[in-house]
Amino acid sequence: MTNSPNILISRTDAIGDVILTLPLAGIIKEYYPDSKILFLGKSYTKDIISISKHVDQFINWSDIDKLATNEQINVFKEYSIDTIIHVFPNKDIARIAKSAGIKNRIGTAHRPFHWTTCNKLLNFSRKNSDLHESQLNTKLLKPIGINRSFSLSELVEYYGFDNVKPLDINFIELLDPKRFNLILHPKSKGSAREWGLENFKELIEILPSKKYKLFLSGTEEEGELFRDVLLESKNVIDISGTMSLQQFVSFIDAADGLIAASTGPLHIAAALGKRALGIYPPIRPMHPGRWMPLGINADYVVHSGECSDCRDGGACHCMLELSASIVATKL
């Protein structure tokens, strides 16, 4: 591989997954300072990817996905990509990358469609591994000459989250410089086991208003689910559905901390160096060993016992039984 390659990182799933993939860009830049890093993601993750100083260009899969096959191939060719790293396997993207003549096509050997579309295959299992998701991602760098293990504390240094946009004055005025500005993110859009509204309600009641100013975040649809339960206290401000993702990232950066289940906002807060406290079940592969937030001030709480009866969905008692006092103490 040349010293100034064009490398495409492909991760077209959720915000949290993308954040835990972004350290790859920083690592590659360290080993290949003259490389151009492109990141293939979906529209709603663009504002996250653009925060990293290590990513030179965002490519929108949401737009490419709508094109005819020959047009998709031509788009990939336009970027003169030397290497594509399939962090999130996608059959269509793998096929397009091969048809576009990308020289190095890296992917996991555990996806059969990679056997015919990738020429650099890595044999490792995510599901049964004891490694963190971000560490597993680094295994895909071996074919480009980066073959070493990274500690979690090392990976935190590779986010490069230097491009956060200024926060609008209307939102700045909500923050209290004399108190700890804490964002509570109660819902997860189905992406994680949730702690429960009653637990968040109790947490709101026990956190002293002289010390904490509290904010409830989420989409407008999520706000409709929790407002009637969580807005009884005068110490809570509802910001759900009021900001673009870009402004929400800026608000998290301006605040002091965030509490959530294993969601995108939790990983955003962790990457920005905020007090990010995640609430997790002990079940594989959702446990914190695989998905804990990574940041200099990030931490988590998790049920200490077994949780095998939660596997079939529905209410997860190992989450609900984590008391608000435990979370408050950890905070």
Give the CATH number of the domain where residue 214 resides: 3.40.50.2000
Q: Can you give the C-alpha Rg of the chain in angstroms?
A: 21
> Contact, 57 vs 71, CB < 8 A?
no
251 and 119 in one domain? no
Instruction: Give the C-alpha separation, 185 to 199, whole Å.
Output: 12
Instruction: Give the C-alpha separation, 213 to 237, whole Å.
Output: 8
82 and 121 in one domain? yes
- Does residue 30 register a pLDDT over 60? yes
Instruction: Give the C-alpha separation, 177 to 3, whole Å.
Output: 47
294 and 220 in one domain? yes
Number of domains in the chain: 2
Q: What is the pLDDT of residues 168-200, one digit of tens each?
A: 999 999 999 999 999 999 998 877 888 899 999
Q: What is the pLDDT of residues 112-143, one digit of tens each?
A: 999 999 999 999 877 778 899 999 999 999 99
- Our separate counts of H helices and E strands in the chain read 17, 12
Residue 264 inside a domain? The answer is: yes
Tell me what pLDDT residue 269 has. Answer: 98
Q: How confident is the model at residue 304 (pLDDT cuts 50, 70, 90)?
A: confident
DSSP letters for 77-127: HHTT-SEEEESS--HHHHHHHHHTT-SEEEEETTSTTHHHH-SEEE---ST
Q: What is the pTM of this model?
A: 0.94
Q: Which domain holds residue 82?
A: 6-156
184 and 146 in one domain? no
Q: What is the pLDDT of residues 47-82, one digit of tens each?
A: 999 999 999 999 999 999 999 999 999 999 999 999
97 and 226 in one domain? no
Q: How confident is the model at residue 313 (pLDDT cuts 50, 70, 90)?
A: very low
> Contact, 247 vs 49, CB < 8 A?
no
Give the end of a domain, one of 125, 156, 187: 156
Where is pLDDT greater, at 51 or 289? 51
Q: How confident is the model at residue 311 (pLDDT cuts 50, 70, 90)?
A: low
108 and 184 in one domain? no
52 and 140 in one domain? yes
Tell me what pLDDT residue 191 has. Answer: 74
Residue 233 inside a domain? The answer is: yes
306 and 180 in one domain? yes
Residue 142 inside a domain? The answer is: yes
Q: Where are the alpha helices (DSSP H) in 160-303?
A: 169-172, 197-206, 220-230, 245-254, 264-271, 288-291
Inter-CA distances, 145 with 1, 35, 115, 252, Å: 9, 14, 21, 36
Residue 1 inside a domain? The answer is: no
Tell me what pLDDT residue 308 has. Answer: 60
16 and 152 in one domain? yes
Residue 163 inside a domain? The answer is: no
Cis status of the peptide bond prior to 23, with omega within 30 of 0: no
Mean pLDDT over all residues of the chain?
A: 93
